[in-house]
Structure 1
Amino acid sequence: MNKQVAEFLGTFTLVLFGCGSAVIAGSDIGLTGISFAFGLALIGMAYAIGPVSGCHINPAVSLGAVAAGRMNMSEAIKYIIAQVAGAIAATLVLMLIMSGKAEYSVAENGLGQNGWGTGYLGEYSMISAFVFEVVATFLFMVVILGTTGKSAPASMAGLSIGLALVAIHLVGINVTGVSVNPARSVGPALFAGGTAIAQVWLFIAAPITGAVAAGLLFKTGMFDADA
């Protein structure tokens, strides 16, 4: 399995089971269940494709790795294309599944898209959404870079990263639905359209800002045991 195929499959799995948990089972499992669905999907993929591609499955993570000096930009671009394609494919599959439910409509029930403002979950402001996504992605990237460093126990990386994603969702679902991953946001937004498309810029810019900031911190050696 080459790296791009691994990244496609990993992102596909994260979006299908993460967003799917919200759309299909959200009323049964609640915010806690949705949080664990995202985290457990990531843990599974970390151990399945981590040895192949590193299991970034997130454009912000790939760009954070570039900023940290652990990846070159040309490879990151290939990863990002595969990640976005995986997210789009997963959203299409989710929409096809949901089309078999009589009372479902994308306009009313959505596809697990991210957002903010009036009518969206906790109705937080754009500033709140931006701050949360930057800070959450920064901390998420710190966990990723820290647990995948040469001095860290490799066997624990997937579990640590997945649990960090669970924690982020437990806190942030009511704020933005939690992105910390531009691909995860772009897929549902493309099919949901409307407000989701209009707001998707934040879920591209904020996670990338946070991840790159964390990568630069590690690049300086100030926060990297391997430096």
Structure 2
Amino acid sequence: MMKRFTAELIGTLVLVLFGCGAAVLAGPEVGQLGIALAFGFAIVAMAYGIGPISGCHVNPAVSLAMFVAGRMSAKEMGVHWVAQFIGAVIGAGMLAMIAKTGMANLGQNGWGPGYLGEYSLQAAALFEVVMTAIFVIVILGVTGAKGHGAFGGLAIGITLAAIHIVGIQVTGVSVNPARSFGPAVLVGGQALSQLWLFIVAPAVGAVIGGLLFRLKTLEPEA
């Protein structure tokens, strides 16, 4: 369990530091595509780095989907959750120490007036639910008994990058409560007041995706 905890903490830290770091430290230079690739590449790197230890969930929604699908216990999920949230806060804290803006901008998620594309709450909620469901479906599919083995990490990273290409202007893209939690608790204000959506919507999407496998709807035939 300690190995899993450490792996998930480090993995989530790296995801926040690389992904949010690209947005904060290099956003104007790399643009939306560059930020999307940073999130995707971070997942690919961690999938091969810590995947053999913890499965490289680095996302409470993924762990929830694994639990709902019957692939991990509640205790294991709890350990992953604690590590992921702590790792996200540490990653955001490191970014705050590096960034010239300090804690004013850490790549926090949001919606509405003044936030990127100024999309509505309804649009933000729909995006996060649907994209989280798609993301966990890919993860559950490629990591299953008849998954694609060595190519799993690449498929997951590409999916996350594609989700960011589509949705950065909508919410900044969460699909990951820990990724949202780390920056929000340090930035405070609007980011913290809107954090609830980035916990609830990914959880709903995770349950939808997990149930599709639990009910054998998307499980391959034996």
The answer to whether the aligner puts 1:106 opposite 2:107 as a matched pair is no
Counterparts of 2:148 and 2:171, CA distance in 1: 33
Q: What residue in structure 1 maps to residue 91 of structure 2? A: 90
Alignment of 1:187-226 (within 5 A): 187-225=182-220
Q: Deviations over 1:9-54 (max 9, x none)?
A: 0000000000000000001000000000000000000000000000
Whether the 8 Å CA contact 2:69–2:214 is kept in 1: the answer is yes
Question: CA shift at 1:197, angstroms?
Answer: 0.3
TM-score, normalised via structure 2 length? 0.98
Counterparts of 1:67 and 1:170, CA distance in 2: 28
CA RMSD in angstroms, aligned pairs only: 1.0
The residue identity in structure 2 corresponding to 1:27 is P
Q: What residue in structure 2 maps to residue 43 of structure 1? A: 44
Counterparts of 1:105 and 1:52, CA distance in 2: 33
Q: Deviations over 1:48-107 (max 9, x none)?
A: 000000000000000110000001111100100000000000000000111xx3xx3533
Whether the 8 Å CA contact 2:62–2:136 is kept in 1: the answer is yes
Q: What residue in structure 1 maps to residue 157 of structure 2? A: 162
Q: Give the gaps of 5 or more residues in structure 2.
A: none
Whether the 8 Å CA contact 2:96–2:102 is kept in 1: the answer is no
The residue identity in structure 1 corresponding to 2:127 is F
Question: CA shift at 1:222, angstroms?
Answer: 1.2
Whether the 8 Å CA contact 1:122–1:175 is kept in 2: the answer is yes
Question: CA shift at 1:134, angstroms?
Answer: 0.1
Counterparts of 2:144 and 2:68, CA distance in 1: 15
Counterparts of 1:226 and 1:131, CA distance in 2: 31
- Cα distance change on mapping 1:226 and 1:114 into 2, 3 Å: farther
Alignment of 1:49-64 (within 5 A): 49-64=50-65
Question: CA shift at 1:153, angstroms?
Answer: 2.0
Q: What residue in structure 2 maps to residue 119 of structure 1? A: 114
Counterparts of 2:185 and 2:161, CA distance in 1: 25
Counterparts of 1:155 and 1:53, CA distance in 2: 16
Please give the secondary structure, in 1, of the residue aligned with 2:35: helix
Counterparts of 1:74 and 1:161, CA distance in 2: 25
Q: Give the gaps of 5 or more residues in structure 1.
A: none
TM-score, normalised via structure 1 length? 0.95
Counterparts of 1:55 and 1:45, CA distance in 2: 7
Q: What residue in structure 1 maps to residue 26 of structure 2? A: 25
Question: CA shift at 1:226, angstroms?
Answer: 5.9
Whether the 8 Å CA contact 1:151–1:226 is kept in 2: the answer is no
The residue identity in structure 1 corresponding to 2:134 is L
Please give the secondary structure, in 2, of the residue aligned with 1:106: coil
Whether the 8 Å CA contact 2:92–2:182 is kept in 1: the answer is yes
Q: What residue in structure 2 maps to residue 186 of structure 1? A: 181
The residue identity in structure 1 corresponding to 2:188 is G
Question: CA shift at 1:225, angstroms?
Answer: 1.1
Counterparts of 2:179 and 2:206, CA distance in 1: 15
The residue identity in structure 2 corresponding to 1:168 is I
Number of corresponding residues = 221
Moved over 3 A (4+): none
Q: What residue in structure 1 maps to residue 128 of structure 2? A: 133
